Amino acid sequence: MGKVYTIHDIAIRLNISKSTVSRALRNHPDVSKETKTLVHEMAAKLNYQKNILASNLASKNTNLIGVVIPEIARQHFFAQALSGIQRVAKEHGYIVMVCQSNEEYLEEINQVNALVNSRVAGILISLSKETNDYQHILNAQDRHTPVVLFDRGTDKIEISQVLVDDYKGAYEITTHLIKQGYQNIAHLSGPMSLSISQKRYKGFMDALKDAGRSTTDAYVLQCDNLSLDAREATERILSLKKRPDAIFCMSDYMAIQVLKELKSNQIQVPEEIALAGFAGDPITEIVEPQLSTVEQPAFDIGVQAAKRLIMEIETEDRDTLGFIHKILDTNLLVRESTTS
């Protein structure tokens, strides 16, 4: 099979220290560009392959950052957030390891425990819709693994979080619908176990209240399964004697499913029913009509969350650092689906 070369072999051939080789392989900013080039060229020549697990077990100071997200496939938001995380991690010499909880609490626990046992430097988490207990996160912190939440947070534990202003975004798009003259606005919410669902629901209800609208008559349907439930919710809306003339969906993905159902029932958007989403997914510009939405700064959320995590990783006295709650602003995008 041939010899397996190590950092020690690279260091001997270049007559530099093993620590310099290690930092160069991580693209650490303290190492000169010339040295990095020499190290990477020698590593390629020797076909050096880092044993990440062995390296982690040998040292408490790893260069791995674990990221746990609910899903990737249908979520442009998380793809963008991961791009932001990756950029910051690379600039600081860290490697990103991405795990998917599939919106399952037990799987989230398994992923977090696996990352901690692999001695990652820190963990970024966007909570699953089932998560309502946070002992696995507290356990990670107790084992000196910094954790930062992003996008989906909680007020149940002390922890740094980077979120968007879900309340303001929902309030603004609901206010837009009211100003456009829509009288009977429905809201399709996400799982109320999620803080983002709660905040968007509250923003919707407060916008109605501040406009002098009745909140007791507000038509709200909770959609735990964003695709199946959105379709079924649309069918229920269309069966009502007094149909809503506008629908605000908790997510763009949900709004796309609603649009599909409305079209299959020959309902004109926005002439018969206006439709709005939340996220700022690029698909909202492609569909016909283009969907109004609330744009989230997904890339910047990833950047800010990664910066905070690395700060907590590299601060020797974390107790003096404390925790932060960073709230990023949203942007209302008004398009054809809500303007007649």
The first and second tokens of residue 38, run together, are 């020499």
Mean pLDDT across 292-303: 97
**Beta-bridge partners for 95:** 64
User: Which of the residue ranges 44-53, 138-147, 152-161 would you say has the lowest mean pLDDT?
Assistant: 44-53
Q: With helix as H, strand as E and coil as C, how does 121-140 read? A: CEEEECCCCCCCCCHHHHHH
Question: pLDDT tens digits, residue range 164-206?
Answer: 999 999 999 999 999 999 999 999 999 998 999 999 999 999 9
Helix (H) or strand (E) holding 113: helix 105-117
**Beta-bridge partners for 247:** 186, 275
Contact status, residue 205 vs residue 215, Cβ threshold 8 Å: yes
**Beta-bridge partners for 122:** 65
User: For the packed helices 135-142 and 105-117, what is the interaxial angle rounded to 10 degrees?
Assistant: 10
How much is the pLDDT for 271?
96
State whether residue 149 is helix, strand or coil.
strand
Evaluate if residue 58 carries a pLDDT over 50.
no
Question: pLDDT tens digits, residue range 232-272?
Answer: 999 999 999 999 999 999 999 999 999 999 999 999 999 99
More confident residue, 192 or 318: 192
CA atoms in the 13 A half-sphere facing the CB of 22: 12
Question: pLDDT tens digits, residue range 67-97?
Answer: 999 988 767 899 999 999 999 999 998 999 9
How much is the pLDDT for 60?
54
Evaluate if residue 123 carries a pLDDT over 80.
yes
Contact status, residue 248 vs residue 230, Cβ threshold 8 Å: no
Note if the pTM is more than 0.85. Answer: no
**Beta-bridge partners for 99:** 68
State the pLDDT confidence band at 1, using cuts at 50, 70 and 90.
very low
Nearest to 120, CA basis, from 40, 56, 202: 56
More confident residue, 27 or 184: 184
How much is the pLDDT for 18?
82
Nearest to 107, CA basis, from 70, 64, 152: 70
- Amino acid identity for residue 109 in this structure: I
How much is the pLDDT for 320?
78
Average pLDDT, the chain: 90
